[in-house]
Structure 1
Amino acid sequence: MQLNLETPDFDFVLRGADGRVALVNDRRLSRSFIVSARTLVEDWPVTDVRTLEVAALAPLLALEPEVVIIGTGASQAFPPPATMAACLSQGIGLEAMTNAAAARTFNVLAGEGRRVVAAFVLEGAPLAEPGNG
């Protein structure tokens, strides 16, 4: 069997994420952040997806996504209905899932060439290496 290394044609790959840390390419992040195939926005000031305000979506929507993934931490939670409606009213899908699932989903969609933007809520206290999901 021949194995070939495939290099993604996008700049940022999520290597793993949990509720406290994420590994983006070779960078370890311990604060909430936003990522697209070509952009990394560090220090997104969101600490709880359940209180996510519509205004906090502005940096995500500025990246012109067709789908937004919200990594909600170690466990799944959902943003307020008004926040979800802000995306849907613009024809943008919004999915909320654990950080581990969000990392996997982001990589798959970015690999398909989709205009995906993911935002990850992190608790800020670094742990050992994040899990593979």
Structure 2
Amino acid sequence: MQLSQENPDFNYVLRGVSPAGVLVNQETLASSFLLTPHVLVPDWRPTAADQLTPEDMQAALALDPVLVLLGTGPRQRFPSAAVMASLLTRGIGLEVMDNAAAARTFNVLATEGRRVVAAFLLPG
């Protein structure tokens, strides 16, 4: 799937999702990462939803989101209740979806000026 929306004032734009990884600007990232329109945190530790811990979400919280979009690979997979609670108890929204849906949703919300963090789980 190729995305083509332009956001010229952003440092980072999601441009596509494929089996090889996620295309950010002109680079395909093949390992898990966190993203805002202005910050890229590469090499995020977890590679699958069942590996996520509440501690992993601290890196996303440090980016001061209102909403975290969790892309869980080619299929939607929910993390543990403890992981979800680590955000929800702080008033931070969490939406869990496959990577393609997370990329599309991130671009829309970022363009609207929302404080969104995309957290992509990739096998690396």
Which TM-score applies when normalising by structure 1?
A: 0.85
Q: What are the superposed Cα offsets for residues 60-114 of structure 1, whole Å, 9 maximum, x if unpaired?
A: 0000000000000011100100110110111000011000000000000000000
Overall identity of the aligned pairs, in %? 53
Conserved 8 A contact 1:18-1:99: no
Matched, 1:42 2:47: no
Moved over 4 A (4+): none
Higher RCO by CA contacts (8 Å cutoff, separation 6 or greater): 1
Matched residues, number? 120
Matched, 1:15 2:21: no
Conserved 8 A contact 1:19-1:121: no
What RMSD, in angstroms, separates the aligned Cα atoms of the two structures? 1.5
Conserved 8 A contact 1:20-1:122: no
SS in 1 for 2:64: coil
Conserved 8 A contact 1:10-1:37: yes
CA distance, structure 2, for counterparts of residue 122 and residue 24 of structure 1: 14
| Structure 2: segments with no counterpart, 5+ residues | none
Q: What are the superposed Cα offsets for residues 99-133 of structure 1, whole Å, 9 maximum, x if unpaired?
A: 00000000000000000001101122xxxxxxxxx
Residues 43, 69 of structure 1: alpha-carbon distance in 2 compared, 3 angstrom cutoff: same
Partner in structure 2 of residue 60 of structure 1: 60
Residues 27, 93 of structure 1: alpha-carbon distance in 2 compared, 3 angstrom cutoff: same
| Structure 1: segments with no counterpart, 5+ residues | 125-133
Pick the structure with greater CA Rg. 1
CA distance, structure 2, for counterparts of residue 7 and residue 93 of structure 1: 23
Partner in structure 2 of residue 112 of structure 1: 112
Bigger strand share = 2
In the TM superposition, what is the alpha-carbon distance from 1:20 to its structure 2 partner? 4.2
